Amino acid sequence: MASEVHPAANGRRPRRGMLRAARSRGATGGDAGGTSAAGAGGSAVLRAVSPGELQPVVEPTAGPLTDRLDGRVALVTGAGSPDGIGFATARRLRALGARVAMVSTTRRIHERAAELDATGFVADLTVEAEVAALADAVAETLGDVEVLVNNAGLASKASPEVLRPVAQLTYAEWRAEIDRNLTTAFLCSRAFLGGMAERGWGRIVNLAATAGPINALPTEAAYAAAKAGVVGLTRALAMELVADGITVNAVAPGLIHTGASTAVELKQGRGTPIGRPGTPDEVAAAIAFLCSPAASYITGQMLVVDGGNSVREAQFR
């Protein structure tokens, strides 16, 4: 299914209030051990964490937790490339039963969506008004988003990657990297977390990288700063949303063989402890797990997918 995104006149989607404490959950009082609240995937009790505040503590239901996402609406950003991490993630979530929405900056997203029986949207996620319009369009087409994968950030011909030392980096180039790799995650998370909170269940997975949170390379200061910022955003959101049944995690890929990989990067990938670069499907598998009900006790974490490259002390010849 194809769909175009058109910004609303005021550029903002009305934000739903996040559900907090007893009043938002529909509870009227009671002691900390006896007041209950319904929650997806388990039961919950409301425990006093400070005077006048109750925090729901969800207890998982009996039996094994599932990795299935049947019927849940998932949105994957940056999914236009046929051999990229975004498309691989959308494909895996679709296989797990999710109803998948995919977004890219170009109309090629409709080809990717058709391959998966998913719904494609075109939007520039660095623009606040377009993100708000996307949220409305997805809700009208598929329903409220319950799983969000913030994968957008890859450079394109229209917005090429900036490789320049800080002393030579212009402010516009700095802003472009920050907006593409960090602002997109902020805007999309803000647009969809309210609906997740209202339902008491949600998964947000942000794509970081090893560059920034773990290591850095010359000429990539803006990219590294943005990806380190993604981890900070992930952890802050995890603490803000934990009482609403929403987990927020990050996945940090290392050297991955995608259509955008250069010959130098592929050579570097062969130098990892495993001896090859990773694949988009391997990264997608990690993302999909964090999106699943089975990952209910994991939040605020960064999962590195780099073939052990970041833990090796030295390069052995």
Q: Looking at the annotation, which residues are catalytic?
A: 223
Q: Which amino acid appears at position 296 of this protein?
A: S
DSSP one-letter code for 78: S
Q: SS3 string of 272-296?
A: CCCCCCECHHHHHHHHHHHHCHHHC
Q: SS3 string of 188-247?
A: HHHHHHHHHHHHCCEEEEEECCCECCCECCCCCHHHHHHHHHHHHHHHHHHHHHHHHCEE
Q: Which two tokens stand for residue 131?
A: 């993100």
Displacement of CA 48 from its chain's centroid (Å): 31
DSSP one-letter code for 4: E
CA dist., res. 200 & res. 25, Å (int): 9
* Residue 148: exposure state from Cβ atoms within 10 A (0-12, 13-18, ≥19): buried
DSSP one-letter code for 256: B
Which residue reads 């598929």 in tokens? Answer: 142
CA dist., res. 39 & res. 194, Å (int): 16
Q: Alpha carbon of 102 to those of 35, 93, 110, 303: distances in Å?
A: 40, 11, 9, 23
Contact 70, 263 (CB under 8 A): no
Cα pseudo-dihedral 256, 283, 281, 114, rounded to 10 = -100
